[in-house]
């Protein structure tokens, strides 16, 4: 079983978001970067599937050299090798094109991604890669079990879930509770240093969107505290200010 796991290198979930250079660039100052939480679920499930069925896991990231600590972490968690496509990922189509190119030459049985990246939250790359490769793409995947050539999947839908069956290969966008996040142990961290990480140049530079500039939401105007003994004041605010009653 050959599994490809696509990981993002994104600001930690607690990061303060701000921009520099006339709001055209993300301010990395003091920001800690992590594997995208949904990609972490995908990786964790890949490790479990490998334990169960054997095979190899390749971690793939489209990013500049700054992402290497994040890729090493994926190797420490259990990927066997990694590929970094050396480019700034600014557009979902650009990223999907790179991933599809790697997948065309390597014939993976399974391509796992996160349901969405937590920086741009597009939820697009898995669908695009599926379409580029002519494979099914399924997201958001909550459970994934494989028996021979067939996968059974539960997918979240608004207000519920559906149970699907599909033959390999396909692309899945993962979310909890597909697996528990895995924390790298000492042995994993040691071995990650010597695992192969191949750097390749982008195969195409086509993009279909460009960010003109960033904006921050307007600041909240301040909280109104209401005494629990005067609930009527809150009802008035809900009616006259928030206009929800």
Partner 1 sequence: MKVLVFLELDEENIRKSSLEAVSYAANFASQVTALVFGSTSLEGLNSIGIAGANKVLQVTNDRFKQPNIMAFSSAIAEVVALENAETLVLAKSSTGDSVAARVSIKLGASLVSNVTEVPDVSEGFKVKRSIYTGKAFAITELSASLKILSIRKNTVPIKTDGATPEIVIFTPQMDEADFVVKVLSSEKITGQILLPEADIVVSGGRGLKGPENWGMIEDLAKALSAATGCSKPVSDMDWRPHHEHVGQTGIKVSPSLYVAVGISGAIQHLAGVNSSKYILVINKDPEAPFFKAADYGIVGDAFDVVPKLTAAINAAKV
Ligand X SMILES: Cc1cc2nc3c(=O)[nH]c(=O)nc-3n(C[C@H](O)[C@H](O)[C@H](O)COP(=O)(O)OP(=O)(O)OC[C@H]3O[C@@H](n4cnc5c(N)ncnc54)[C@H](O)[C@@H]3O)c2cc1C
Binding interface with ligand X (CB under 6 A): 13, 37
Q: Is 22 in the site for partner 1 (CB under 8 A)?
A: no
To ligand X, the closest distance from the beta carbon of 72 in angstroms equals: 19
Task: Kindly list the distances between the CA atom of residue 180 and the CA atoms of 26, 41, 72, 119, in Å, as whole numbers in the listed order.
Answer: 30, 7, 19, 22
The distance in angstroms from the start CA to the end CA of the chain is 56
Out of partner 1, ligand X, ligand AMP, none, what residue 60 binds, judged by CB under 5 to 8 A for its kind, is: ligand AMP
Cis preceding linkage at 197, omega within 30: no
**Cβ nearer to ligand X, comparing 34 with 100:** 34
Orientation of helix 125-133 relative to helix 92-106, angle to 10°? 40
- Region of 53-61, 65-73, 172-180, 186-194 interacting with partner 1 (CB under 8 A): 172-180
Name the residue among 27, 51, 72 with its Cα closest to residue 191. 72
Contact characters 76-95, partner 1, x per CB under 8 A: ----------------xx--
Out of ligand AMP, partner 1, ligand X, none, what residue 11 binds, judged by CB under 5 to 8 A for its kind, is: partner 1
Beta-sheet pairing, 9-11 with 33-35: antiparallel
Count of residues that bind partner 1 according to CB under 8 A: 82
Q: What is the 3-state secondary structure (H, E, C) of 19-41?
A: EECCCCEECCCCCCEEECHHHHH
Tokens found for residue 87: 């480019």
Out of ligand AMP, ligand X, partner 1, none, what residue 6 binds, judged by CB under 5 to 8 A for its kind, is: ligand AMP
Q: How far apart are CA 71 and CA 57, in angstroms?
A: 13
To ligand AMP, the closest distance from the beta carbon of 39 in angstroms equals: 5
105-134: which residues touch partner 1 (CB under 8 A)?
A: 116, 118-128, 130-132, 134
To ligand X, the closest distance from the beta carbon of 13 in angstroms equals: 5
Backbone angles phi, psi at 221, to 5 degrees: -80, 0
To ligand X, the closest distance from the beta carbon of 24 in angstroms equals: 28
* Of the candidate residues 53, 166, 168, 189, the single one contacting partner 1 (CB under 8 A): 166
* Of the candidate residues 30, 177, 194, 201, the single one contacting partner 1 (CB under 8 A): 177
**Cβ nearer to partner 1, comparing 190 with 238:** 238
To ligand X, the closest distance from the beta carbon of 54 in angstroms equals: 30
Q: Contact at 8 Å (CB) between 6 and 116?
A: no
Out of ligand X, partner 1, ligand AMP, none, what residue 238 binds, judged by CB under 5 to 8 A for its kind, is: partner 1
Q: Which residues contact 198 (CB under 8 A, 6 or more apart)?
A: 81, 82, 83, 84
Task: Kindly list the distances between the CA atom of residue 76 and the CA atoms of 2, 69, 170, in Å, as whole numbers in the listed order.
Answer: 18, 10, 25
**Cβ nearer to partner 1, comparing 20 with 199:** 20
């Amino acid at each position: 079983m050959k599994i490809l796991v696509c990981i993002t290198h994104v600001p930690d979930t607690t990061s303060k978001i701000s921009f520099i250079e006339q709001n055209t660039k993300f301010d990395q100052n003091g920001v800690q970067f992590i594997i995208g939480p949904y990609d972490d679920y995908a990786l964790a499930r890949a490790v479990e599937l490998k334990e169960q069925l054997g095979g190899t896991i390749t971690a793939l990231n489209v990013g500049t050299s700054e992402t290497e600590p994040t890729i090493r972490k994926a190797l420490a968690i259990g990927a066997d090798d990694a590929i970094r496509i050396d480019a700034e990922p600014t557009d979902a189509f650009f990223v999907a094109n790179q991933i599809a190119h790697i997948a065309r030459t390597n014939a993976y049985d399974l391509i796992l991604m996160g349901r969405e990246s937590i920086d741009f939250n597009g939820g697009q790359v898995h669908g695009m890669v599926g379409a580029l490769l002519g494979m099914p793409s399924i997201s958001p995947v909550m459970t994934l079990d494989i028996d021979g050539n067939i996968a059974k999947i539960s997918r979240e839908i608004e207000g519920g879930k559906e149970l699907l069956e599909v033959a390999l290969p396909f692309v899945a966008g993962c979310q909890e509770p597909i697996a528990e996040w895995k924390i790298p142990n000492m042995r994993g961290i040691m071995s990650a240093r010597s695992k192969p990480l191949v750097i390749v140049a982008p195969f195409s530079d086509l993009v279909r969107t460009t960010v003109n500039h960033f904006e921050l939401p307007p600041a909240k105007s301040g909280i109104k505290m209401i005494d629990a003994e005067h609930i009527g004041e809150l009802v008035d605010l809900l009616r006259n200010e928030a206009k929800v009653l």
